[in-house]
Amino acid sequence: MSVTSKRAQGRRLMPKAGRWIGVAALTLALTSCGITYNSPTVNSAADGFQVTVLEMSPTVVASANRSAYAPQSLPASFFANAGGGSARGVGAIPPTPYLPDESRETLEFRPLPDVAPQPYRIGVGDELLLATKSRNSVEELSGLLAAANQRQGYTVRDDGNIAIPDVGSIPVAGLTIEEAENRLFQVLVDNQIDPTFSLEVSRFNSQRVAVGGAVRSPTIVPITPNDLTLGEAIIAAGGTDIRDREFASIRVYRQGTLYQIPLETYLQNPGMQDKLMQAGDAVFVDTSYDLDRALEFYRAKIDVISLRQSARNSALANLQSEINIRRGALEEDRSNFDRREKYGANGRQYVYLAGEVRGQNRFALPFNDRATLADVLYNEGGFDTTTGDPSEIYVLRGDPQAGYGDIVIAYHLNARNAAKLILATKFEMRPDDIIFIEEQPITKWNRALQQLFPVLLRSAQNAL
């Protein structure tokens, strides 16, 4: 090739090289100026706004949660029910028996105090049998025994005395049998009567214990010289009549004090059964929960309502109609609320999501409850850590003391350490809060290059 032709070829290549150099210079200029891609970020210096960035900590979260806020409430119809109505013509509905829940409470144990055995003392109403030495024939003696078997004798009167013919009134109330014998002996001697006799109590009526409640045969048990225990008193009433022992107790009312022994404790501890009873004690076997008794309760109440079957059915039909009307009104009110909610006519309170979230959206704050930062984030699917920067999570809130004007508080959560996400479960949201998550640094470069490459290709094509 001649020198002339080489010079001509060089002149043709120089414009192309210049174009490539120009394209490269343009690329560097665009990249350095940063005009290819702008991503949102949180800066303390903003045009027209005063932004205060606060790092989230337990103290800061507690301070933010103290701001005045009352969640919106659902209409009262959402908390009402149709009710029981009133069955006209049926009469008052009987009260519902107590039905405990699955978690029953432990019955309180108030043990019956021990009492020392005491000799039996004669009291008003007791019948005494006085047997004296007889000079009669065997036939007459047999008649006397027959009279004793008919429980004939001397009854202690209200004044505490017994009246013996040819002797008079003798006070015996409050005396033991031995003391009463000594007194009778002295009276017989004073009246010059042979003091050979024997005295016994043929019927014990002065000291008694009442037993009732869930027993087979409620009764009144007398106290005798042999003493009376709690177990003997319950046995005298036929024993307990209980299906659900864990809900039953034995209550003893004594001299103004009420004692309670859970039935399971009573059965497992023989010492409880051997407790001595005193005159005037009242024993009541109580059960708070017995399905069979509840059923009998309702049957008895229904039997009391003496209405013909047709009248009862009519009254129950009216009751059902009244309940259905109430239920229909409640359902209509709730349905109308749902329709207003569908068309946004209820004036809901929202929190807004922006930045690197799964979907930029708004989150309606719940009724009658409070939502946290974690509730909002993870209700919407959270954020993608490949594009979102966990160290740059912000909650933007207008300063309430500034009237939501130009002052913004940015609560910053640095969740690079995942343990700090616990703060998100404590931070309460407020209406019009904005949750913003910045991009990862690599994401900014990637998106900038995605926008820059088409420009470079077009420039290269034009240059070629």
**Cβ count near 88 (within 10 Å):** 12
Q: Indicate whether this model's pTM tops 0.85.
A: no
Distances (CA, A) of 228 to 204, 207, 455: 12, 10, 109
CA separation for the pair 448, 39 (Å, rounded): 9
Amino acid at 64: A
Number of H helices, E strands in the chain: 11, 17
Tokens 């022994």 belong to 261
The C-alpha torsion from 104 through 110 and 111 to 116, rounded to 10°, is: -160
**pLDDT for 108:** 79
Amino acid at 459: S
**pLDDT for 289:** 56
Amino acid at 429: M
DSSP 3-state assignment of 35?
Answer: coil
Q: How many residues are present in the chain?
A: 464
Distances (CA, A) of 148 to 129, 154, 161, 170, 173: 7, 11, 20, 21, 21
- Lateral strand order in the sheet of 208-213: 219-222, 208-213, 282-287, 248-254, 257-262
Q: Outline where 242-308 has alpha helix (H).
A: 263-268, 270-273, 291-304
**Tens-digit pLDDT profile for the chain (464 aa)?**
554 454 445 444 445 545 545 555 555 544 444 445 677 778 766 666 788 889 999 999 998 888 888 888 887 766 666 555 554 544 444 444 444 444 455 677 888 888 888 899 998 988 888 876 654 433 443 444 444 443 347 889 988 898 887 788 889 998 988 998 888 888 888 887 777 778 888 888 888 898 988 899 998 899 898 889 999 999 999 998 887 777 788 888 888 888 888 888 898 888 888 999 988 888 888 876 554 554 554 455 455 444 445 566 676 777 778 778 878 887 888 888 888 877 778 788 889 988 888 778 888 888 888 999 888 888 867 777 778 888 899 999 987 665 555 788 889 999 888 888 899 999 999 998 999 988 887 777 777 777 777 777 777 777 77
Nearest Cα to 151, choosing from 196, 186, 202? 202
**Cβ count near 155 (within 10 Å):** 15
End-to-end CA distance of the chain: 26
Cβ atoms 234, 242 nearer than 8 A: no
